[in-house]
Every structure is written in structure tokens, then in C-alpha cells.
């Protein structure tokens, strides 16, 4: 894994390394150089963003780098990440999204799509990093006189909406009452418009971004207000997207949270019933709840677990021939329809399952029993190999011995933040919380100080 790129592109505090204007310009140059494979004409690079205030700063820096290498930058404005993937695959050489997904507004990030709409592999990201950190690209740039142009894509949002509309019948949501939490992020325009056009009665929440309120007490990470409104409005379903619109967490008509793993189980059953579950396989990650294992096994569906990160889910899907995969966080990939996680498309697929079974969401979700799961994020200043720290491995083994097959432990570092994630599943909530805290306390004592 390269040093700049994490599990989902480059990410960090805006205006601090590596999320600075200077680095963004270098990324723009490197991307333009890397994707300049045309025999004729200029490379065309799409840029989209979420609603963070720092998005403008990074957007203009990227544009400067792209144009300085003789490539053209096409600005899609605020648009969900999957929308940029779709537009890139339609007519571009590369796509760049400026977003830190579900993180607070003061973070930002850069993720890159190839011309086919797929994210880059670790190897390709490492190549781009090598280019942008080298002195050679500056000397190449100085020789370019035919610099690139900048163009706006005024209909980017409508193009993405039309793409989503093409996946379902007309008036698909007729008769449904839906509450949408747009997280003051990239879905704030396209999601309400889409569901209204599909015939739903729509109540929209958190759709007034101001650059600083993205993901603030809302969205897929915080559904408390959504649950309250779903119950108050007697809605059929609540939909919570994250800041860049590639994740979905749902709420049923009783106000219960429906996680990504539960959505996977529901969609797997629906797709299998309609003979759409190619390879009879679902891909998730090692973070998935044990309940998903059991649910898929009961369905007779093969379950593959990939490393955490949507790119690794995608790699396993392609390798196995699966068309359904995702993460408990709500990042779902429907490979027959989209090249990356798409929160709005996931919502459409979940509603499709609801309509096909003619049952409320609270009934559909009974297909999976969720094991008590506790996740604690421990802030760290360094990330030594966990297996090389005896005190941590001892704490993990002690908990695993006490669980005695009635749960599991997973400890890993975040690929996008200075955190160590401790996840424990167990037979009861109280026991699970206790064991998870024991491991987290150990890590806090051992890892927190600088080496």
C-alpha cells in the first residue's frame, strides 16, 4: 500500500498535508499525465465534489494541475461519488471525486476513477504516487505550451438521475411514504428529485448544506432524527445517505436501524428468488456480522469475506463472478448496474425487495439475526503491526478464549483515519461491551504514545 493512498484514496485534514492545495495540484498533474493515453486529442478528466467548504480550494488546485499538463478539466459540481463514476465511464479518461465521505467537514479527500468507472487498484495508485512525488513531472510540465481548458457540465445531476431512473419502472415508488436524510451532502439535490419523480411522498431532511454541516448529527452515521421523523410521519421507510452518497443505512417503519449487512441479506434473498444472484455468491468484509454468515448459509448462498474497503470487495466480486457485495457500513455494490458503491441505487434495490414481497421492511429484516456487536475506535499516533505487540495479542487471545466460539474479535487500523478499530461480537450486549473495552484500553495504553 502506498503512503499517500489509504483504503479510499487520499484523505486527511483540509489544509494540512496531504490535503493541501500544493498536493492537490500535484495530484492533478499526475492524473493528467497517467491517463494521457490518447493518440489524438486531450485527456478529459471529470471532477466532482461533495459540499465541504474546502472542496473549492482543492477543486481549483486540481484543475490547475490538470490544465498545466495539457489535459481538459470538466467540472460536474456537487454530485454523489457514484454519479461521477457513471459520468466518467460514459465519456471521460478519468474521474476525480473531492470528498471525505462520512468524515466531518474539516476533513477532505481525493479518490480517482479510471475511464471505465472503476476505482484504481493499489498498484495503480502507487504508480500515480510515484509520478506526483517525482521531480520529472515538473520538468515535463514546463515544456507544455498547449495547456488545457476548463468546462462545466451543467446537466451532470440530471444525467445521474436519468441513469437511476432507467433501473426501475415508471412510478416505481407510487404509494410509498419515504423520509430521506441527505446528510447535508452530495445527495441533497438528486435524491429528493429522484424519489419525487418515482411517485413517492417524500420528506427530505438535512438537505441545506452550508459547507460545514455535512454529516453533522445526521446521515448514515447518525440516524436519530431520521428515526424520529419516520415514526412521526408514519413513513414506510427512511433512507440515510453519507456525505458523498455512496452509502445507505435504512430505517424501517418502526424506527429500527437496518444495517448494511441486513440490507445485503434482504437483497440477496430477493435477487436469488428472481434468479439474478449470479454465481450464487455474496461478498462482504471481515467486519460483517456473524448473523450474515448464518442468513446466507440458510439461503444456500456462498459467502466470501474480503479485506475492509470497497475496492477489495469489488476485487473479490470480479474474481468470483458475484454481482452483489458490500460492507456493514452501508456501502453496497450492484455490479450488474454500477461500478462502485451507490447509496441511492441501493435504496432502489431495497425498495424493490420490499415491493416484491409485499411486506413491511420490519418483516423482511427478520431474515437475519444480528449478533451483539461493539466497535470502539482508539485514537493512535502510530500504527505498529498488531501481531508484533505482545500486550495487544495477549489481550485479544484472552477475549477469544473467554468467548469460546460464541463470538469473535477483529482488530485493525483504519485506512483513512489515525484510528485502531476494535470490533467484538458476543452472546450478550453486556459481555461484548466488556470484552471490547478491555482490548481497547490495552491498545490505548500501548499504542497511543509516539514511537
DSSP string across 12-66: EETTSTTSSHHHHHHHHHHHHHHT---SSS--EEEEEE-S-TTHHHHHHHHHHHH
CATH architecture of the domain with residue range 259-342+361-367: 3-Layer(aba) Sandwich (3.40)
Residues making up the chain, counted from first to last:
451
- Tally of CA atoms within 13 A in the half-sphere of 105 that contains its CB: 19
Residues marked active site are found at 101
Beta-bridge partners for 77: 48
In the chain, CATH 3.40.120.10 sits at 10-158, 159-257, 259-342+361-367
In the chain, which segments carry CATH 3.30.310.50? 373-447
Q: What is the pLDDT of residue 447?
A: 73
CATH class held by domain 10-158: alpha beta
Cell of 382: 502510530
Average pLDDT estimate for 72-100:
97
- Classified by CATH at the fold level, domain 159-257 comes out as Alpha-D-Glucose-1,6-Bisphosphate; Chain A, domain 3 (3.40.120)
Average pLDDT over residues 75-89: 98
pLDDT for the residue 140: 86
Would you say 113 and 97 are in contact if contact means Cβ atoms under 8 Å apart? yes
pLDDT attached to residue 1: 40
Asked if pLDDT for residue 420 goes beyond 50, the answer is: yes
Burial class (CB in 10 A: 0-12, 13-18, 19+), 414: middle
Q: What is the CATH number of domain 373-447?
A: 3.30.310.50
Percent of the chain with pLDDT over 90: 83
- pLDDT average, residue stretch 332-357: 97
Q: Is the pLDDT of residue 451 over 60?
A: no
Please indicate whether residue 382 or residue 284 has the higher confidence score (pLDDT).
Answer: 284
The string of pLDDT tens digits covering residues 159-176 is 999 999 999 999 999 999
* Mean pLDDT computed over 394-419: 89
Reported as a single tens digit per residue, the pLDDT across 439-448 is 999 998 887 5
Confidence at residue 162, expressed as pLDDT on a 0 to 100 scale: 98
- Please state the rounded mean pLDDT for residues 134-158: 91
Stretch 413-439: mean pLDDT: 91
Tell whether the model's pLDDT for residue 2 goes beyond 80.
Answer: no
Amino acid at each position: 500500500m502506498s503512503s499517500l493512498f489509504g483504503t479510499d484514496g487520499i484523505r486527511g485534514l483540509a489544509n494540512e498535508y496531504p490535503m493541501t492545495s500544493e498536493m492537490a495540484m500535484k495530484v492533478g498533474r499526475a492524473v493528467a499525465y497517467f491517463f494521457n493515453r490518447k493518440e489524438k486529442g486531450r485527456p478529459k478528466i471529470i471532477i466532482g465534489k461533495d459540499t465541504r467548504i474546502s472542496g473549492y480550494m482543492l477543486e481549483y488546485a486540481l484543475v490547475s494541475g490538470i490544465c498545466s499538463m495539457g489535459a481538459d478539466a470538466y467540472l460536474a459540481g456537487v454530485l454523489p461519488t457514484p454519479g461521477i463514476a457513471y459520468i466518467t465511464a460514459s465519456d471521460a479518461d478519468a474521474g476525480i471525486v473531492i470528498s471525505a465521505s462520512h468524515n466531518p467537514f474539516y476533513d477532505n479527500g481525493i479518490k480517482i476513477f479510471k475511464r471505465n468507472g472503476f476505482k484504481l487498484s493499489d498498484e495503480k495508485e502507487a504508480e500515480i504516487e510515484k509520478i506526483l512525488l517525482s521531480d520529472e513531472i515538473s520538468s515535463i510540465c514546463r515544456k507544455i505550451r498547449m495547456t488545457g481548458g476548463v468546462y462545466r457540465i451543467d446537466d451532470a445531476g440530471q444525467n445521474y438521475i436519468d441513469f437511476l431512473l432507467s433501473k426501475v419502472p415508471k412510478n416505481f415508488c407510487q404509494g410509498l411514504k419515504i423520509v430521506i436524510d441527505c446528510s447535508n451532502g452530495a445527495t441533497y439535490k438528486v435524491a429528493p428529485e429522484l424519489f419525487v419523480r418515482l411517485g413517492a411522498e417524500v420528506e427530505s431532511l438535512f438537505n441545506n448544506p452550508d459547507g460545514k454541516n455535512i454529516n453533522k448529527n445526521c446521515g448514515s452515521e447518525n440516524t436519530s432524527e431520521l428515526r424520529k421523523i419516520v415514526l412521526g410521519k408514519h413513513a414506510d421507510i427512511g433512507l440515510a445517505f453519507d456525505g458523498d452518497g455512496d452509502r445507505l443505512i435504512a430505517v424501517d417503519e418502526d424506527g429500527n436501524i437496518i444495517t448494511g449487512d441486513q440490507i445485503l441479506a434482504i437483497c440477496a434473498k430477493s435477487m436469488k428468488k428472481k434468479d439474478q444472484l449470479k454465481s450464487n455468491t455474496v461478498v462482504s468484509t471481515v467486519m460483517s456480522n456473524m448473523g450474515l454468515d448464518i442468513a446466507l448459509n440458510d439461503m444456500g448462498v456462498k459467502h466470501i469475506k474480503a479485506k475492509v474497503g470497497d475496492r477489495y470487495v469489488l476485487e473479490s466480486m470480479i474474481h468470483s463472478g458475484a454481482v452483489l457485495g458490500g460492507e456493514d457500513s452501508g456501502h453496497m455494490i450492484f455490479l450488474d448496474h454500477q461500478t462502485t458503491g451507490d447509496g441511492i441505487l441501493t435504496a432502489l434495490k431495497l425498495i424493490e425487495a420490499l415491493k416484491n414481497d409485499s411486506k413491511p421492511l420490519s418483516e423482511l429484516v427478520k431474515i437475519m439475526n444480528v449478533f451483539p456487536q461493539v466497535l470502539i475506535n482508539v485514537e493512535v499516533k502510530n500504527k505498529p503491526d498488531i501481531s508484533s505487540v505482545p500486550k495487544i495479542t495477549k489481550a485479544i487471545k484472552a477475549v477469544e478464549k473467554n468467548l469460546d466460539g460464541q463470538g469473535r474479535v477483529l482488530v485493525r487500523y483504519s485506512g483513512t483515519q489515525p484510528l485502531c478499530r476494535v470490533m467484538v461480537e458476543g452472546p450478550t450486549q453486556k459481555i461484548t461491551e466488556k470484552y471490547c473495552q478491555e482490548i481497547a484500553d490495552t491498545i490505548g495504553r500501548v499504542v497511543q504514545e509516539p514511537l
